[in-house]
Amino acid sequence: MLKNNKEMIHPDHLFLIVWRYSIMEDHKLLLNLLVESNRSVRYAAICDMDGKILLSRHRPSEKNFLSLAETKKELQRAANAWKSRFELENKIGKGMYVVAAYEKIKRITIPLSKEYLLFISMDYKDGQSKGYLNVIDMNSIFSILDWEPTAP
C-alpha cells in the first residue's frame, strides 16, 4: 500500500527488519572486536550457509592473499562442509570449529548458529610452529564468542 508516495511497512515486517538489523550490528561489533583484539587476525567475516558474505572486516595494514572471488568460493566450500557436519551432530556432537593451516595463514570457521558462520584468517606469529593451532589464539577468540549472542 502507498501513502503520500511512501511505501508503508507492515508491523510484522518492521519487527523482522529491526531484529535482523540488531543481529547484524552485533555481528559487526563481533568482527571489530576480533580484529582489534588480536593482531594476527587479518580478515574476519560472517557468511550465511550459502557462503554469501554478509559482513566483513579486513585489517587495513594487511595485503590479501586471495581475491574476493577466491574468498567467496572458499566460503561456499566451508559452508557446504558445515552443512554436512550438522547432519552428523546427533551422532558425534555439535561441531565447534575447523582450522585449516597453511604455510602463511590459518583459516578458522566457527558456526555461530545453523544460519551463520564466522570465518577468520590469521597470520602465524613469530616463533609459532606453523603446523599447529595456537591454543592461546583460540582462547582469545572463544572469549569474544562467549559474549556473542546466538541468532534464533
CATH number at residue 41: 3.30.450.30
Is residue 136 in some structural domain? yes
Dump strand ranges (E) for the chain.
2-3, 6-7, 41-48, 53-58, 98-101, 105-111, 116-123
Is residue 79 in some structural domain? yes
The model's confidence at residue 35, banded by pLDDT at 50, 70 and 90, is confident
pLDDT of residue 43: 92
pLDDT of residue 80: 94
Which domain range does residue 113 map to?
A: 10-147
Higher pLDDT pick, 131 / 107? 107
Is residue 152 in some structural domain? no
Taking the C-alpha atoms of residue 20 and residue 31, their distance in angstroms, rounded to an integer, is 17
| Whether the predicted pLDDT of 14 surpasses 50 | no
> CB–CB of 75/83 below 8 Å?
no
SS (H, E, C) 123-148: ECCCCCCCCCCCHHHHHHHHHHHHHC
Is residue 130 in some structural domain? yes
Looking at the structure of the chain, the number of domains it has is: 1
| Mean pLDDT of the 114-128 span | 78
Is residue 43 in some structural domain? yes
| Whether the predicted pLDDT of 132 surpasses 80 | no
| Whether the predicted pLDDT of 36 surpasses 60 | yes
Is residue 113 in some structural domain? yes
Q: Convert the pLDDT of each residue in 38-94 to its tens digit.
A: 788 899 999 999 999 999 999 888 888 999 999 999 999 999 999 999 999 999 998
- Cell for 136? 592461546
Distances (CA, A) of 25 to 15, 52, 113: 15, 17, 16
The model's confidence at residue 102, banded by pLDDT at 50, 70 and 90, is confident
Half-sphere exposure of 114 (CA within 13 A, CB side): 7
Is residue 110 in some structural domain? yes
Is residue 95 in some structural domain? yes
